[in-house]
């Protein structure tokens, strides 16, 4: 029986029903898979520690455990092991959630050597997604409401608890340091942690990012401790401050549970069930459940339904309809000055992903996303957090990293690959819908409008502006980037009813100001793409006209 890296639980799938005394569990640690992209060292540590902790748990349960370890691709390691085994029975596994892994393992399935059962870690089904379909595409709110009705979660007598399905409008408070944000737990040193650190620092030494395994819950007791911390310290205040950003706290009241749930070390079904029963303010309870039962499940279902956006009409038949031939590195090679070199060539069936690009954005990811100073305090702070921990919460991902990239016309595919490399909770079903769909509007079938803003939103919800060389509403270039974005993309957005007011405001700007917006966009783009920070020269340039920080 094979247990893949995104399903490390003895409570779900075929392994949950197997007899430990007569079942051998296989795990795969493929150097090619782990180095296919320049993944953050912390992401590698999460995967390796979680797999090895799971192996210990399975052995303690009575399973015989075999770990297939080597630099070859996962499919080749499995093929060789199956051939050595000599059994005529197919190897049984739960289907991987990740489309890329399904494509890699497809030859084994087609040859009858591997039999896949449905992934049991998700709480929804394809029929739920049909409720979300509209003439324009899929909509998360419709999906979420349908799932709530079907499951009865936060429902009473067929009606949503509190009288409405979403309390999102009430969850937009700025955080000024009160109430105090909790400190995430850390975990003691162990031989297993030392082993993984040593391996990453030698075998995967070229990977970027800071490595700190003390922050990774590994054993069942540590995972439970992390979950108890989240329930007791985070969830009461999660709702009102879920959109807040701060230099003083990386996560504020966010629980940091996404890597555990995506590996299925902590089951999402358990999280939802326990949160629904807690005595919490409704806006926090509903807001947290919506992130998991709503958005997390929605992006997974959309990604499956579109075959990773390969089958949607706006991609098929376009120049960008063909996936990239090879996995991308998110701009690593330009930043590092040398090409990324995986430990082995990727196997057949593994490509660089679909390339929806509704707005025709093609700028490479600037070096600022890899840690080169940009001169924008909000961007530099979040990027620093990411390369230190491999994580930041969803608003910094959406309204700082993705927003500024979209305003600069960064390629959706390359930005997606950057997120895939940089974050500890990244898988293709996570990053592709969130980046190609929601945050860059590369694929318009998931959201009703582009998620872009000027500096006003960043100033309202965060506290980086006070430490920046630029001032919102005066000389901050993000405002001009916003107006220039609207002008460049007016034709593509003019039929969108949610964009009519802002496009009208853009058209109302004097011609000289619109020309200045465009010139400033070009200046900022060119400075950042050359790896330079915006500085005093740029301050003077932007200050001449002022305004424009919508």
Question: Each residue's pLDDT tens digit in the chain (550 positions)?
Answer: 999 999 999 999 999 999 999 999 999 999 999 999 999 999 999 999 999 999 999 999 999 999 999 999 999 999 999 999 987 799 999 999 999 999 999 999 999 999 999 999 999 999 999 999 998 899 999 999 999 999 999 999 999 999 999 999 888 999 999 999 999 999 999 999 999 999 999 999 999 999 999 999 999 999 999 999 999 999 999 999 999 999 999 999 999 999 999 999 999 999 999 999 999 999 999 999 999 999 999 999 999 999 999 998 777 766 666 899 999 999 999 999 999 999 999 999 999 999 999 999 999 999 999 999 999 999 999 999 999 999 999 999 999 999 999 999 999 999 999 999 999 999 999 999 999 999 999 999 999 999 999 999 999 999 999 999 999 999 999 999 999 999 999 999 999 999 999 999 999 999 999 999 999 999 999 999 999 999 855 554 444 333 333 3
| Confidence (pLDDT) at 545 | 35
Task: Show the 3-state SS of 1-22.
Answer: CECCCCCCCCCCCHHHHCCHHH
DSSP class of 94: E
| Confidence (pLDDT) at 537 | 58
- Total number of residues shown for the chain: 550
Q: How far, in Å, CA of 198 to CA of 200, rounded? A: 6
In this structure, the number of other CB atoms found within 10 A of the CB of residue 65 comes to 17
| Confidence (pLDDT) at 550 | 34
For the chain, the straight-line distance linking the first and the last C-alpha, in angstroms and rounded, comes to 55
Q: How far, in Å, CA of 546 to CA of 522, rounded? A: 17
Tell me the sheet residues that pair with 94. Answer: 117
Q: How far, in Å, CA of 506 to CA of 30, rounded? A: 51
Side-chain-side CA neighbours of 68 within 13 Å: the count stands at 26
- Quote the tokens at residue 186: 């850390």
List phi, psi (to 5°) of 66. -120, 125
Q: How far, in Å, CA of 330 to CA of 346, rounded? A: 17
| Confidence (pLDDT) at 544 | 35
Q: How far, in Å, CA of 177 to CA of 182, rounded? A: 11
Which residues contact residue 223 at a Cβ distance below 8 angstroms, ignoring those fewer than 6 apart?
A: 217, 260, 265, 266
Contact 334, 367 (CB under 8 A): yes
Q: How far, in Å, CA of 446 to CA of 434, rounded? A: 9
Contact 124, 144 (CB under 8 A): no
Helix 282-289 crosses helix 268-277 at what angle (to 10 degrees)?
Answer: 170
Q: How far, in Å, CA of 517 to CA of 491, rounded? A: 17
Please give the model's pTM, rounded to 2 decimal places.
0.96
Q: How far, in Å, CA of 392 to CA of 253, rounded? A: 12
Q: How far, in Å, CA of 40 to CA of 207, rounded? A: 6
| Confidence (pLDDT) at 546 | 35
| Confidence (pLDDT) at 319 | 64
**Continuous segment of H or E residues that includes residue 25:** strand 24-30
Q: How far, in Å, CA of 111 to CA of 436, rounded? A: 33
């Amino acid at each position: 029986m094979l247990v893949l890296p995104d399903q490390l639980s003895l409570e779900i799938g075929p392994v949950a029903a197997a007899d430990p005394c007569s079942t051998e569990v296989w795990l795969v640690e493929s150097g090619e898979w782990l180095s296919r992209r320049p993944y953050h060292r912390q992401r590698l540590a999460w995967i390796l520690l979680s797999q090895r902790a799971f192996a210990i748990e399975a052995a303690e349960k009575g399973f015989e455990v075999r770990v297939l370890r080597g630099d070859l691709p996962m499919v080749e390691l499995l093929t060789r092991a199956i051939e050595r085994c000599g059994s005529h029975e197919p190897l049984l596994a739960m289907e991987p959630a990740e489309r890329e892994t399904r494509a890699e393992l497809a030859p084994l399935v087609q040859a009858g050597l591997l039999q896949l059962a449905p992934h049991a870690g998700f709480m929804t089904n394809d029929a739920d997604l049909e409720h979300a379909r509209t003439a324009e595409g899929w909509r998360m709110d419709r999906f979420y409401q349908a799932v709530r009705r079907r499951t009865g979660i936060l429902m009473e007598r067929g009606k949503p608890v509190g009288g409405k399905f979403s309390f999102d409008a009430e969850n937009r408070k700025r955080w000024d340091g009160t109430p105090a944000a909790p400190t995430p737990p850390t975990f003691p040193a162990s031989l297993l942690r030392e082993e993984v650190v040593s391996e990453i620092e030698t075998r995967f030494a070229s990977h970027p990012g800071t490595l700190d395994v003390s922050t990774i819950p590994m054993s069942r007791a540590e995972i439970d401790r992390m979950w108890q911390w989240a329930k007791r310290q985070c969830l009461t205040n999660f709702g009102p401050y879920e959109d807040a950003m701060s230099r003083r706290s990386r996560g504020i009241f966010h629980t940091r549970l996404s890597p555990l749930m995506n590996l299925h070390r902590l089951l999402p079904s358990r999280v939802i069930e326990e949160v629904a029963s807690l005595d919490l303010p409704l806006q926090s309870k509903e807001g947290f459940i919506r992130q998991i039962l709503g958005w997390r499940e929605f992006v997974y279902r959309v990604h499956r339904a579109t075959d990773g956006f390969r089958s949607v009409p706006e991609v098929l038949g376009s120049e960008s309809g063909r996936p990239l031939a090879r996995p991308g590195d998110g701009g690593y090679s330009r930043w590092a000055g040398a090409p990324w070199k995986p430990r082995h060539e990727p196997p057949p069936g593994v490509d660089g992903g679909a390339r929806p690009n509704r707005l025709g954005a093609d700028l490479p990811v600037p070096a600022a996303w890899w840690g080169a100073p940009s001169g924008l305090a909000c961007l530099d702070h979040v990027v620093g957090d990411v390369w230190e921990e491999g994580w930041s919460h969803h608003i910094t991902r959406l309204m700082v990293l993705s927003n500024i990239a979209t305003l600069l016309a960064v390629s959706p595919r390359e930005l997606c690959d950057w997120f895939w490399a940089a974050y500890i909770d990244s898988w293709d079903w996570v990053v592709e819908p969130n980046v190609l769909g929601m945050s860059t509007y590369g694929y318009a079938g998931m959201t009703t409008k582009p998620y872009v803003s000027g500096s006003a939103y960043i100033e309202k919800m965060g506290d980086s502006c006070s430490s920046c060389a630029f001032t919102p509403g005066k000389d901050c270039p993000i405002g001009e980037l916003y107006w220039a974005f609207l002008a460049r993309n007016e034709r593509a957005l003019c039929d969108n009813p949610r964009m009519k007011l802002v496009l009208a405001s853009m058209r109302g700007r004097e011609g000289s100001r619109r020309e200045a917006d465009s010139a400033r966009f070009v200046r900022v783009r060119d400075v950042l793409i050359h790896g330079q920070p915006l500085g005093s020269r740029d301050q003077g340039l932007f200050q001449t006209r002022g305004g424009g920080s919508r």
